[in-house]
Each structure stands twice: as C-alpha cells, then as structure tokens.
Amino acid sequence: MWPFGSSTKKEDVVSGETISTTQITETTPEVSAPQLNISAIPIFDASKLHPLAGLDKDLEYLDLDEEKLSNVEGTGNGILPSRGWSDDLCYGTGTLYVGGLGLGGLYGLNQGLLNLPPGSVDPVTGNIKSAPFKLKLNTVLNQVTKHGPHIGNSAGVLGLLYNIIDSSLDAYRGKHDDLNSLASGALAGAIFKSTSGTKAMAYSTGMMTLAAAAWCGFKRAIN
C-alpha cells in the first residue's frame, strides 16, 4: 500500500481518525525527507508497510566517509594507511624485526672485523702469514649471524607484544590515543622481562614506556 499519491481512497477508509489524511498528504511534500519519521504518524502502521524497509526501527546512520579504513576513534594518523589491527601488527612487528636485524648485523659486522683471526708465524722462517680469506669471512659472518637475529628476535617479540596489547586496548576502550600506547609499551616491557626479576622488569618497563612516548611524539611531530 503506497502512502503517497492516493489521498482520495484513504480518506474514506480512515475518516474517523484524529489526524485526517488530507492534512498529511498536504504536508508531506513540504517536509524535508530526513526529518519525516513515518512510523511516528499513527495512521501508518509500520508493520503493515513494506517489511524490508525497516520502518519500525530507529534511525540508521550511514558511513559516508568512505576514505576511512577504520571506525575506531583516533586512528588514521599513522605513517602508513592501516586496515586495522592485523596491518598494525604486521607492519609494526616487521619494521622492528627488520630494524633489529639490520642494527644487530651492523654490530656483528663491527665485532667480526675487530676480532679477525691473527696470522700464523711460520716456525722455520719467522714470517707472519696472514689468515686465509675464507677464515676471515667466516669469522665476520659468524658474528653477523650471531648478533643480528638475536637483536632482531628480541625487537620483534617486543613489537608483537606491544601491537597485540595496543590493539586490544583500542578495541576495549574504543579509541586509539597516546594513553593506550604508553600503557601497552609498559605492559610489553614488563612481560618481556617477566622472568628476570623485579629490577630487570622495572628497567624494561621504563625503557619501553619511553620508547612508546617517543613514538607518539614522532607521530605528532610529522602530522
């Protein structure tokens, strides 16, 4: 039953109602569409109108901002566009892991070059014979592969813990702000050193909170 357009027929049917149909059909073209709540008018029983239109429900808000990738308050000011917690987790962990791997590798390169194997002295002639190239290369590579993955793994675990806790706090509180970041930094640091005693835990918590604060400051500075 279409409510607009057939005013003459309906007047016969509901002539005893408190609001006459003619009045409504006169006002409907003037009322702008979003303010018209059809189900508030007693003549139009929402259950008898088209059921799929959902007229008996409350107002529904459409998401008009299609550029936004996430609906959590405060997101979208990161460096990379993020599709939610999984992107944050992957990029955060990956960046920290690769960064740790590279820094640890450089440190290992330095250590390897400082500790090159000494040359051997020939017992007959007394000449100093330097160690073969393969031995030197092996020393450097051993140092690089010892320190690189160690630092990378530690940084990666910290990033993983931080991002998991941060995304959980975001989902719990419904917004993404610096407080969440600081709290998740502190928690990640505490969990990371949770088996090494209170002092190490406190130290690691402080360091990670500072790192989270630095990250928040960096994000603010570039935005």
Partner 1 sequence: MSTPEADHSRDPCPIVILNDFGGAYAMGVIGGSIWHGIKGFRNSPYGERRIGALSAIKARAPVVGGNFGVWGGLFSFYDCSIKAIRKREDAWNAILAGFFVGGSLAVRGGRKHMLNSAITCAIFLGILEGVGMMFQRYMAYANKPVPMPVPDGGAAPLSA
Phi-psi region of 4 (alpha: psi -120 to 50; beta: other; left: phi over 0): beta
Q: Does 215 bind partner 1 (CB under 8 A)?
A: no
Cα angle at 168 between 166 and 173, to 5 degrees? 95
| Chosen residue from 154, 206, 207, 210 binding partner 1 by CB under 8 A | 154
Q: Does 156 bind partner 1 (CB under 8 A)?
A: yes
| Chosen residue from 54, 94, 174, 217 binding partner 1 by CB under 8 A | 94
Of 3-11, 22-30, 86-94, 172-180, the segment contacting partner 1 by CB under 8 A is: 86-94
> Within 10 Å of residue 157's Cβ, how many Cβ atoms?
17
User: Which is nearest to 39 in space by CA: 54, 60, 20, 23?
Assistant: 54
Task: Give the chain's end-to-end CA distance (angstroms, integer).
Answer: 55
| Chosen residue from 38, 46, 49, 160 binding partner 1 by CB under 8 A | 160
Q: Does 141 bind partner 1 (CB under 8 A)?
A: yes
| Chosen residue from 44, 85, 91, 203 binding partner 1 by CB under 8 A | 91
How many chain residues bind partner 1 (CB under 8 A)?
Answer: 22
Closer residue to partner 1, CB minimum distance, 52 or 80? 80
Which alpha helices (H) appear in the chain, and where do they start and end?
A: 7-13, 21-27, 85-114, 133-173, 178-192, 198-222
Task: For residue 143, give every residue at least 6 positions away whose Cβ sits within 8 Å of its Cβ, in sequence order, or none.
Answer: 108, 109, 111, 112, 115
Of 51-59, 91-99, 170-178, 208-216, the segment contacting partner 1 by CB under 8 A is: 91-99
Q: Which of residues 175-204 bind partner 1 (CB under 8 A)?
A: 195
Q: Does 70 bind partner 1 (CB under 8 A)?
A: no
CA 177 to chain centre: 11
User: Which is nearest to 152 in space by CA: 195, 214, 97?
Assistant: 97
Q: Does 208 bind partner 1 (CB under 8 A)?
A: no
Rounded to whole angstroms, the Cα distance separating 223 from 214 reads: 14
Q: How far is the CB of 160 from partner 1 (least distance, A)?
A: 6
Rounded to whole angstroms, the Cα distance separating 69 from 71 reads: 7
Q: Does 80 bind partner 1 (CB under 8 A)?
A: yes
Closer residue to partner 1, CB minimum distance, 24 or 190? 190
Q: Which residues bind partner 1 (CB under 8 A)?
A: 80, 86-87, 89-95, 97-98, 141, 149, 152-154, 156-157, 159-160, 195
